[in-house]
Amino acid sequence: MLSCRGLRKDYVTERGEVAAVDGIDLEIAAGRYAAIIGRSGSGKSSLMAMIGGLSRPSHGEVRVDGTDIWSLSENGLAAFRNKRIGYVFQFASLLPTLRLVDNVALPAMLGGGGRSSATYSRAAGLLGQMGLGDHLDAYPSEVSAGEQRRAVIARALINEPALILADEPTSDLDEQTEIEIMDELLAVNRERGTTLILVTHNLALARQAEQIVHIAHGAIVA
Amino acid sequence: MRLLASLALQNLGRRKARSLLLIMAVAVASGVVFTGATLMRSIDSSMEVGFTRLGADMMVVPEGALTNITAALLTVEPTDLVLDEDLFAKAGITSVSRAAPQKIARVEHSGIGSHHDSVDLIGFDPALDFTVRPWLVERINRDMKPGDVILGAGRDAALGSELLIFGKPHTVYGRLGRTGVGTHERGVFMSFATLEALAGSVHGPNGPPAVLQKGKVSGFLVELAPGATPLQARFAILSTLKGVKVVTGDSTMSGIRQGLAALLNGILALMVLMFASTALMVSVLFSAIVTERRGELGLLKAIGARRGQIVGMMVIEAVIATGAGGVLGVALGVLVMRLYERSLVYYLENIGVPFVWLDGPSIVIVAAAAIVMASIIGGLGSLYPAWRASRRDPYDLVRGEG
């Protein structure tokens, strides 16, 4: 499913080039739940961004289902992100000017689905599954942080991706909400067979994963 | 496209305060552009009318012709001598901007006024004229045609009425304002063709006056080219044209005319500079807006928006906002011009200074241009920062870089 070879990411700082990710090789099988753990600044988010087609590696390749995603054209990569990957970020990543149902439907519309009733009924269905059926027309600022995160999960699922990348999705939530959000993500992984890669520094969450990748100073240590 | 427009509208709708401020800023700028352009064009036309009412800078008549110089050179003087109508067209004198030929025949028993009154029948070329038509205070609402006459302020006949000249019917096309110049006030003005058609009816001691022949004129009223002095023009005319005499008018008037024209050009240049700085301001504003929304753009890229979609959304949003600002600006401009009309224009017209508003279709064109320009400025202002942001990796944008 996911294969990384010699993945490296350098950032230019005032003190010269710094390698955030330093030559990582990684394999994650389809349908797995993998956790990438490490301390703040260890390079786990940079690794996740390269895996997800969000940040171009300085060196190395990322293959998702055999496709070298960084060899795709700009529009090809955009289409790949749109159809094959769902993101759940560590911040409230809903567009504040759109209703929840619009936010969830947006990836499908951007991918060429248009503003069809089928897209909207699918978005409404996903929000219903996340317990937000009564908040379709609410704006992000009108719902709680936990509900926003559920809406983000619904958005990540709208195009039925093969891979969900969740970058510390519960870092700003209370314990109870964190459990609920993780339950939703794990349910997606189990019931839909969607590969789930979770970036976290919460070891308790990581322990539930089938594969744990421990990163320190930009390299895999375990 | 519909999706992008819809996203743009939703963005504008949800950020009401910012959108309103942006629209107001553009409205003020485009209102200034619209009002400024309309008023400047109107003032330009009014000044042109005002200037031409000051008369010609000089008059060129046949050598030997007697002339009675007046303060304002508005018509040539009656004389038995003639010049060729195409004299100036052939010579191409650069210090002369315009040379308007006139024919003048002082006739008796024409049927105008009492039996023995002499009447000055004055022929002019409407295409070159700049001393007769600017004085029109009323006219029939159509173009002048053969058989039409314009009456000087000293003559009385209703507009559109029939006037018999040597028994031939003519239509009173228009009336001129008071000028204080005898020939101008008493004259009956018509096109060359209309005057030449009367040649068979006018009888003098030596037959019809020579000036009624086709291609012959009594003289020329001359306007100097910008920057040319009366002395330069006089020298150029006398050295180029043979058998002519140059009669110079009040040189103070020429100086004032040229000075005011230069001042107007200076004001126009200032307006252009102001418009350019407005465009720059709007561009900077949009650049800041795009920078502020990097995170949002990064998110859109992350969920699959293509570069074209990112740029398109930002540009559409800018065009909608600035276009709305343009429409509002034009509406504000119309209100400002109403106030202007009721105050300064009313005052000017009361003291006899003509104010010529730009005609309706031209105002519509200026308004449309102001709206389109506002939209283009918005579109262009957002294009570069949106294009730059769209080139960045989504992760950089989400982290607030780029």
User: pLDDT tens for residues A27-72?
Assistant: 999 999 999 999 888 898 899 999 999 999 999 999 998 899 999 9
Spell out the per-residue pLDDT of chain B, length 402, in tens: 677 777 788 778 777 888 888 888 888 888 888 888 888 778 777 776 666 666 788 889 998 887 766 656 888 888 888 899 988 888 888 889 899 999 998 888 777 766 667 888 999 998 998 888 888 888 998 889 999 999 998 888 888 999 888 888 999 999 988 777 778 888 899 999 999 888 888 776 667 788 888 899 999 999 888 888 888 889 999 999 888 988 886 666 666 666 666 776 777 777 677 667 777 777 787 778 878 888 888 999 999 999 998 999 888 988 998 899 999 999 999 999 889 888 877 777 776 666 778 888 889 999 999 899 889 888 888 888 888 888 889 988 887 765
Using left for φ > 0, alpha for ψ between -120 and 50, and beta otherwise, residue B2 falls in: alpha
Contacts of A109 in chain B (CB under 8 A): 3
Over the range A99-123, which residues count as b (16 or more CB within 10 Å of their CB) and which as e? bbbbbbbbbbbbbebeeeeebbebb
Report if residue B149 sits inside a domain: yes
Looking at the fold, whether B305 and B202 belong to one and the same domain comes out as no
Domain A32-54+85-220 has CATH 3.40.630.30: no
Residue B165 phi/psi, 5-degree rounding, is -120, 115
Contact B398 A54 (CB under 8 A): yes
Report if residue B375 sits inside a domain: yes
pLDDT at A70: 94
Looking at the fold, whether B308 and B168 belong to one and the same domain comes out as no
Domain residue limits at B136:
70-83+100-223
Q: Among residues B223, B248, B280, which one ends one of the domains?
A: B223
Report if residue B228 sits inside a domain: no
Looking at the fold, whether B211 and B76 belong to one and the same domain comes out as yes
pLDDT at B119: 86
Number of domains in chain B: 2
Looking at the fold, whether B143 and B19 belong to one and the same domain comes out as no
Looking at the fold, whether B214 and B275 belong to one and the same domain comes out as no
| A52 touching B (Cβ < 8 Å) | yes
Report if residue B242 sits inside a domain: no
Looking at the fold, whether B378 and B351 belong to one and the same domain comes out as yes
pLDDT at A177: 84
Encoded tokens for B214: 């086709």
Report if residue B237 sits inside a domain: no
Report if residue B91 sits inside a domain: no
Q: Nearest 5 degrees, angle CA B116-CA B214-CA B70?
A: 55
Q: ipTM score of the complex?
A: 0.92
Looking at the fold, whether B351 and B314 belong to one and the same domain comes out as yes
Looking at the fold, whether B112 and B149 belong to one and the same domain comes out as yes
Looking at the fold, whether B113 and B171 belong to one and the same domain comes out as yes
Contact B307 A74 (CB under 8 A): yes
pLDDT at B258: 65
Report if residue B94 sits inside a domain: no
| Residues of chain A above pLDDT 70, percent | 98
Sign for the CA dihedral angle at B14, B16, B19, B23 comes to positive
Q: Among residues B205, B223, B241, which one ends one of the domains?
A: B223
User: CB neighbours of A16 closer than 8 A, spacing ≥ 6?
Assistant: none
Beta-bridge partners for B84:
B216
Q: Nearest 5 degrees, angle CA B146-CA B171-CA B352?
A: 105
Q: Among residues B203, B223, B243, which one ends one of the domains?
A: B223
Looking at the fold, whether B292 and B381 belong to one and the same domain comes out as yes
Euclidean distance between CA atoms B172 and B165, whole angstroms: 11
Burial class (CB in 10 A: 0-12, 13-18, 19+), B360: exposed
Looking at the fold, whether B219 and B265 belong to one and the same domain comes out as no
Report if residue B64 sits inside a domain: no
Of A49, A78, A98, the CB nearest to B305: A78
Of A78, A102, A114, the CB nearest to B301: A78
Looking at the fold, whether B208 and B329 belong to one and the same domain comes out as no
Q: Are B81 and B62 in contact (CB under 8 A)?
A: yes
Contact A97 B10 (CB under 8 A): yes
What's the half-sphere exposure (Cβ side, CA atoms, 13 Å) at B184? 24
Contacts of A55 in chain B (CB under 8 A): 393-396
Contacts of A82 in chain B (CB under 8 A): 303-304
Chosen from A10, A12, A82, A155 to mutate, greatest number of chain B CBs within 10 A: A82
pLDDT digits (tens, 9 = 90+) for A159-198: 989 999 999 888 777 888 888 888 888 988 988 889 999 9
